[in-house]
A and B are shown apart, each in its own frame.
Chain A
């Protein structure tokens, strides 16, 4: 069989066998609709409520503050649009950062077409949002601050507790997209003063198409999906029972021992990162040196382009990702890499490797063997590299 080294855990993760086992009975045997009255339906209802408690406990919330959704994008859309439309009389100003996921940025851009105004806070060269900037951006028209807990591309972990304290003090609701942070960073919605939090199952070994939004009691939030009375009349639609059960099991496992689990991944990540920077000259680390997700490496190899790197790595069975324009349908380079100040040509040469449970020490050795050769080969074809060598 062809060798496969999966280093794209920030894109998605495989469903853990324990999670799958927990889900399986809810497809064909315990298939009842929780809204029905008979005993069969009660089994489904109990499964949903059990999962709700698992999600709540993972982030320090109470179960009635957890609402299941179809994933991170729906949760972000709901939190932002639901807050905006419910608070229209109060204000029209939203604060976010320049490096949010598109589920947040494009939702904010949509709200701008509906008469809201949005402040996109800049980040420093490591991708950090400054809490002071948040504080200074708040006006008496501000109805929401939304800043991600950790960035999906460069892995920078944001000071959400400081931001939460500021927004709580100023009485402005604070939403955080924690899709990448769950299982990697300890989050406690009470300690961190978070009012709304988005999460997504498939980023921590749960199924795709299921997520949740935490909404603190007392937060004004309009509905996004209208219809039946599910989720205590907040989110219509018959519950995705197997998905919800899988999400509950997955988040319970992912948050059971965050320091122990992340230490193992971070050790592999640190060896791989140091090895790459050591073996390949003209390479820059993107993101923060220490305040970053334990599994994330994002580097730019100067003088070459990211899609070619991915294709050559794929030929060697290595799965990774890039912020190069050439790999995106829009032909725009990553907005995150541009926001941290990279010139376009350096953004084009970026490579993201995100480690996880599928990786072992041998994978680190394998990538350290293959990657420098791939970079060298592409540089040998690059007129920019030739000009740099000849031009010194």
Chain B
């Protein structure tokens, strides 16, 4: 049911593990739904120096976490914020339709972790405003 890229990121997930003293942590999902994703960030000079994850969930949830952390490493916080669910699913060469919510969870996890960092820095959290515009843009890229 999954393609080779998804299976690779599931069987050999990148960046798994809890981070000690992270600068930002985001936890999203719900055990009732069967997915919980926790993203840890280390931030240096406005860039994601390191990103790791811990995930309870299906193959797609673990693969999406792995790919999402790969995509944001080395990016500025602004760039990381722009990584959408479509970008995560696209980088995984596609997910089955009923599993797209796993990539949405990854986007939400990144946003939660970035805003956790911003709150700790006493900065205003970023709002999820321009979401639709992002999706359009990333959707175009993924095609």
- The residues of A with any CB-CB pair to B shorter than 8 Å are 303-305, 307-308, 311-312, 315, 324-327, 329, 331, 333, 343-345, 348, 380-386
Q: Would A345 and B13 count as touching, CB distance under 8 A?
A: no
Which residue of B27, B55, B58, B60 is within 8 Å of A381 (Cβ)? B55
User: Once bound together, how far apart are the Cα atoms of A187 and B27, in whole Å?
Assistant: 52
User: Once bound together, how far apart are the Cα atoms of A385 and B16, in whole Å?
Assistant: 14
Size of the B side of the interface (Cβ < 8 Å), in residues, is 27
Q: Would B36 and A308 count as touching, CB distance under 8 A?
A: no
User: Once bound together, how far apart are the Cα atoms of A333 and B33, in whole Å?
Assistant: 9
Which residue of A311, A312, A343, A386 is within 8 Å of B54 (Cβ)? A386
- The residues of B with any CB-CB pair to A shorter than 8 Å are 2, 7, 10-11, 13, 16, 18, 27, 31-38, 53-62, 98
User: Once bound together, how far apart are the Cα atoms of A384 and B61, in whole Å?
Assistant: 14
Which residue of A312, A315, A329, A384 is within 8 Å of B36 (Cβ)? A384
Q: Which residues of B contact A380 (CB under 8 A)?
A: 16
Q: Would A383 and B58 count as touching, CB distance under 8 A?
A: no
Task: Identify 4 new A-B residue pairs, CB closer than 8 A, beyond the known A327-B58, A383-B37, A383-B54.
Answer: A315-B11, A324-B34, A381-B62, A382-B55
Q: Would A311 and B16 count as touching, CB distance under 8 A?
A: no
Which residue of A304, A329, A344, A386 is within 8 Å of B32 (Cβ)? A344
Q: Would B34 and A325 count as touching, CB distance under 8 A?
A: yes
- A386, chain B: closest CB distance, angstroms: 6
In order of increasing CB-CB distance, the 10 nearest A-B pairs are A326-B58, A345-B31, A307-B58, A383-B54, A383-B38, A344-B32, A348-B34, A382-B56, A311-B59, A384-B56
Q: Would A383 and B34 count as touching, CB distance under 8 A?
A: no
User: Once bound together, how far apart are the Cα atoms of A307 and B55, in whole Å?
Assistant: 13
Q: Would B18 and A308 count as touching, CB distance under 8 A?
A: no
Question: Contacts A305-B57, A307-B59; is A383 near B36 (CB within 8 Å)?
Answer: yes
Q: Would A308 and B34 count as touching, CB distance under 8 A?
A: no
- A217, chain B: closest CB distance, angstroms: 47
User: Once bound together, how far apart are the Cα atoms of A329 and B31, in whole Å?
Assistant: 18
User: Once bound together, how far apart are the Cα atoms of A293 and B2, in whole Å?
Assistant: 33
Question: Contacts A333-B34, A348-B34, A383-B36; is A308 near B10 (CB within 8 Å)?
Answer: yes
By beta carbon, the residue of chain B nearest A312 is B11
Q: Which residues of B contact A386 (CB under 8 A)?
A: 18, 54
Q: Which of B18, B57, B60, B62 has the most CB of A within 10 A?
A: B57
User: Once bound together, how far apart are the Cα atoms of A56 and B53, in whole Å?
Assistant: 59
